[in-house]
Structure 1
Amino acid sequence: MTDETKKNGPDASETETVVDAAAAFANDGATEAGEAPAPDPMETLKAENEQLRDRFLRLAAEMDNLRRRTDREVKDAKSYAVTAFARDMLAVSDNLRRALDSIPSDTKDSEDAGLKALIEGVDMTERAMLSALDRHGVKKIEPEGQKFDPNFHQAMFEIPNTTVPNNTVLQVVQAGYVIGERVLRPAMVGVSKGGPKASDVAAEAAADKA
């Protein structure tokens, strides 16, 4: 070290070298002490992007389920909006049918033009009412000859009959109706009793085919 250096102290380059060495020593010491290096910004962004993607997919699935549920509720509302009204109209239709059925056959064959017009008017009114209900999704159940189904039929009495399978609908006391896929009113029916079981009849039919 020259006399000038001793007098003025170390120059700037020597000072920077000492500082860099100290920083490097400190970093080495931190690594040796077990401290984790600074996270990679790209990896952080990738992780955040994956989280956002998962949230988006879950939100999209929830929105799709909500849309389907809303569509189904709107469709049901349209299909079944007239349920109460249709049930009331069926009661009116029943009364019209009872009125027609109560007319003696000789009266229906009467030559009285006024009476004939009245009977035809009542009949046309009943048919027009049922036709209007049909256009709004109200369908008549035709159970006669079918196996009794408690979901659509209401058994009122049993009819002894050994020629048809047991629990076959033989008589319809009051017509039943459905609206869409729902039962508006079950059919009141009489079912057979004393015949073979439906399973036995099916087994015999399968054996005959074989």
Structure 2
Amino acid sequence: MPQKEEPLQSLDELAAEGDEIDFDVAAASFDEIEALRAERDDFRDKFMRALADAENTRKRADRDRREAENYGGSRLARDLLPVYDNMHRALTAAKEGEEKVPDSLLEGIELTMRELINVFKKHGIDTITPEVGDRFDPKMHEAMFEAPLPGTKAGDIIQVSTNGFMLHDRLLRPAQVGVSSTPKS
């Protein structure tokens, strides 16, 4: 804690004490001391501002580094989503198709799909997989069409076109769904 400074005595007070004073020298010293104090206060203010600025820069750099670690690969992740979609379609077609697909080919596609999902999880990419009957959430889903469907409520998901994806807490791609409109009576 800085020491409290004693106020300077005025030239008149010094003269009243009976000391011989060279008023020109004393006035010059008094003005010089005041100028030095003002300069010191100015430097202290600049120093405190520089410290605050350095701390803010450090915090900003930390935040930028964390964001780069978490979200720097988002463009690559978006570019890999069509690969996931195509593999998912291939698996669905192979399982639902009438033609017999060689088991080794089906197993290879499944293993590749699992590995892709593991890589996604390793890098913080999670799949958004809505189910038919879930409520439409505009924060997570993209409505591709709307149609009245008996036995459903308005806003229910009636078809899932593609899954969506989250990168940590950010939406990479919304799930594309069909949504029920109010059924006509």
Q: TM-score, normalised by structure 2?
A: 0.69
1:141 is matched with 128
Structure-2 change in CA distance of 1:162 and 1:56 (3 Å): farther
Question: Percent identity at matched positions?
Answer: 36
- 1:153 positional shift: 2.1
81, 97, 116: which one pairs with 1:129? Answer: 116
Q: Which amino acid aligns with 2:94?
A: I
Structure-2 change in CA distance of 1:78 and 1:116 (3 Å): same
Q: Which amino acid aligns with 1:119?
A: L
Decide which structure has greater helix share.
Answer: 1
1:103 is matched with 94
Asked if 2 retains the 8 angstrom alpha-carbon contact of 1:148 and 1:191, the reply is no
Q: What CA distance in whole angstroms lies between the structure 1 residues aligned with 2:97 and 2:178?
A: 29
Deviations along 1:64-118, whole A, 9 cap, x unmatched?
A: 121122122222222223223222322112111111111254768x6xxx82222
159, 162, 167: which one pairs with 1:179? Answer: 167
- 1:191 positional shift: 1.8
Q: What CA distance in whole angstroms lies between the structure 2 residues aligned with 1:59 and 1:140?
A: 46
- Find out whether 1:52 has 2:43 as its counterpart: yes
Any unmatched runs of 5+ in structure 2? 1-19
The total of aligned residue pairs comes to 157
2:72 is matched with 81
Deviations along 1:32-90, whole A, 9 cap, x unmatched?
A: xxxxx543554443332221221111111111121122122222222223223222322
Equivalences for 1:185-200 in 2 at 5 Å? 185-194=173-182
104, 107, 111: which one pairs with 1:120? Answer: 107
Any unmatched runs of 5+ in structure 1? 1-23, 31-36, 196-210
Q: Match of 2:126, SS?
A: strand
Q: Which amino acid aligns with 1:63?
A: A
Q: What CA distance in whole angstroms lies between the structure 2 residues aligned with 1:163 and 1:65?
A: 57
- Specify the structure having the higher radius of gyration (Cα): 1
